[in-house]
Amino acid sequence: MHSLFEEVDFQQSAQSEPNTKIILELMESEQIEAEWLPVLQQLVDTVLSTPLDGKALRLQQIMAAQRLTELEFLLPIEVLDAPTLNRITQRHDPLSAHTGDLGFHAVQGMLKGFIDLVFQYQGRYYVLDWKSNHLGDDPAAYHPQRLGSAMADHRYDLQYQIYALALHRFLRSRLAHYNYEQHFGGVFYLFLRGMDGRTDQGVFHTKPSLALLDELDGLIAGRELAQRASKSGQMELDL
């Protein structure tokens, strides 16, 4: 499903000649039978016409020049330990506060990832991730108020926090007079199977606080560890 939205023109109907050609080529490459064409066209049109914010923001308004697909990012990590990460995310994000603790050994190195889609709308930049999870046959399973459970179960909260930090750093390096509250619009996770094209059903939307991103930034840059070492007179790692 991801490939569909990477290739199609958001501003044209899925039944248009260019988009139909794109969809047919993708179907052929994935060995999908031709009878599925109307289903996929309907899916594309439904997703692109959905008001993501419950109001006016629709992907069908976004021009090709306003979006970046599969944006690669690299985050150098001086040190990252689970207890400190848990403490920061649970303090600043209500979703993380209701999840279990992550457990891993302290790590160093380079974190590499790809954001499905970054797009600009009315001067603000957004992170978007496509999800094909099947949450149930009942449409109510995709109600925005119930998507938090799916997000927490899969720890997508940590994923969008990292994506938000990556975009925050990217914008900070590219935009003159960058201001997080002004320029960063938020994060959308689209559960494609539950979207109806009329409401924000199937859409999870949030905006991490600047305080969270600042502390995450400091954590992976080693500033959090340096501050703790300075206060105690020695360097300690939470393992």
For residue 233, the model assigns a pLDDT of: 39
CA distances in angstroms from 175 to 6, 68, 231, 236, listed in the order given: 25, 16, 35, 37
Phi, psi of 110 (to 5 degrees): -125, 125
For residue 122, the model assigns a pLDDT of: 96
User: 227 and 183 in contact (C-beta within 8 Å)?
Assistant: no
User: 6 and 155 in contact (C-beta within 8 Å)?
Assistant: no
137 is catalytic: no
- In this predicted structure, the answer to whether residue 110 has a pLDDT above a threshold of 60 is yes
Q: Please report, rounded to a whole number, the percentage of residues in the chain having pLDDT higher than 70.
A: 93
Question: For 102-117, what is the mean pLDDT?
Answer: 91
Q: In what order do the strands lie in the sheet with 203-206?
A: 67-80, 107-121, 124-131, 184-191, 203-206
Question: For 135-160, what is the mean pLDDT?
Answer: 92
Cα–Cα distance between 210 and 13 in angstroms, integer? 37
Decide the pairing of beta strands 184-191 and 124-131: parallel
For residue 215, the model assigns a pLDDT of: 96
Cα–Cα distance between 97 and 238 in angstroms, integer? 20
Out of 45, 81, 116, 129, the active site residue is 129
Of 157 and 54, the structure prediction assigns the larger pLDDT to: 157
Write the class of the CATH domain 63-232. alpha beta
Question: For 123-150, what is the mean pLDDT?
Answer: 93
Per-residue confidence at 148, pLDDT binned at 50, 70, 90? very high
Of 222 and 216, the structure prediction assigns the larger pLDDT to: 216
**Where does the chain hold its CATH 3.90.320.10 domain(s)?**
63-232
Question: 144: helix, coil or strand?
Answer: helix
Q: Which residues does 66 contact at the CB level (< 8 Å), separation at least 6?
A: 119, 120, 121
- In this predicted structure, the answer to whether residue 238 has a pLDDT above a threshold of 50 is no
- Please name which of 193, 56, 216, 219 lies closest in space to residue 138, comparing C-alpha atoms: 193
Question: For 119-139, what is the mean pLDDT?
Answer: 95
For residue 222, the model assigns a pLDDT of: 81
Per-residue confidence at 235, pLDDT binned at 50, 70, 90? very low
Note the pLDDT tens digit of each residue in 54-66. Answer: 899 999 999 999 9
For residue 196, the model assigns a pLDDT of: 94
What predicted TM-score, i.e. pTM, was given to this entire model? 0.91
Per-residue confidence at 1, pLDDT binned at 50, 70, 90? confident
